[in-house]
Structure 1
């Protein structure tokens, strides 16, 4: 199993969990796995939408109390950065 990077976005409101996820994803290669920890219920919808729009795949979603754990496997579009 690959190492899983964790983006701790607990306590942050929309759109910050996705912004933090996207920032971290830029530094990782395709195939990397990222898990976002979020307390904002909007992240449950925003993270999968971001993944779908960027060509990534959702690998899992669960909730423990008020913390959502959303796991994404990065696709080939991750490493593209503007000059």
Structure 2
């Protein structure tokens, strides 16, 4: 998975929602879009990239997108797959 591509996609989503007049609604929109339309492994990769290298990749996130991801991290974190 290309981590920089995930960051770029998240920023494009953030750019779209940031134009909304209600800041809180816009933040929720970013998180909900990522939660609904990104598969779990994409969300895991995005979150782990931010955890492992916050300075390297985190700086590439816009402030608005970072705020949405940090605020709604719990909702964005996929459930663990059941053990087989």
TM-score w.r.t. length of structure 2:
0.42
Structure possessing the higher relative contact order (Cα contacts under 8 Å, 6 or more residues apart): 2
Structure having the higher helix fraction is 2
Q: Which has the larger radius of gyration?
A: 2
TM-score w.r.t. length of structure 1:
0.42
